[in-house]
């Protein structure tokens, strides 16, 4: 499967900076990530900007990797970003890339929470 960035379909931001995810520094806190997750949900549910929601989920997952692994909220945040990301990809008709995208973040199918697996 090709990566999502190689997709021939290009999506533009439809709502401009008013719907942009909050900027994050290189030392992101879990409360900032919860805010980012909330922003991704708003982009998808309120504004219907699925590409921006997916991009926010990707950015959130990247920032999540930088958090201390002992933070017990990491698994909850990771699952939330992945569930929203899967939903956004579905709305973008990108189902073929869902499994590989989820595996980028969980590495092995056995580590993917059942609530994410049930989405597809």
pLDDT digits (tens, 9 = 90+) for 74-118: 899 999 999 999 999 999 999 999 999 999 999 899 999 999 999
84-117 burial code (b ≥16 CB/10 A, e <16): bbbbbbeebebeebbeebbeebeeeeeebeeebe
pTM of the model: 0.75
pLDDT digits (tens, 9 = 90+) for 9-64: 333 333 333 344 444 445 578 889 999 999 999 999 999 999 999 999 999 999 99
pLDDT at 9: 32
> Would you call 77 exposed, middle or buried from its count of C-beta atoms within 10 A (0-12, 13-18, 19+)?
buried
């Amino acid at each position: 499967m090709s990566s999502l960035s190689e997709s021939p379909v290009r999506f533009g931001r439809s709502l401009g900076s008013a719907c942009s995810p909050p900027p994050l520094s290189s030392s992101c806190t879990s409360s900032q990530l919860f805010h980012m997750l909330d922003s991704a949900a708003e982009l998808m549910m309120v504004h219907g900007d699925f590409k921006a929601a997916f991009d926010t989920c990707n950015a959130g997952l990247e920032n999540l990797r930088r958090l201390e692994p002992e933070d017990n909220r990491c698994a909850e945040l990771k699952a939330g970003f992945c569930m929203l990301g899967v939903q956004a990809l579905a709305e973008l008709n990108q189902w073929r890339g869902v499994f590989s995208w989820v595996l980028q973040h969980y590495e092995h199918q056995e580590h993917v929470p059942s609530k994410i697996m049930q989405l597809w």
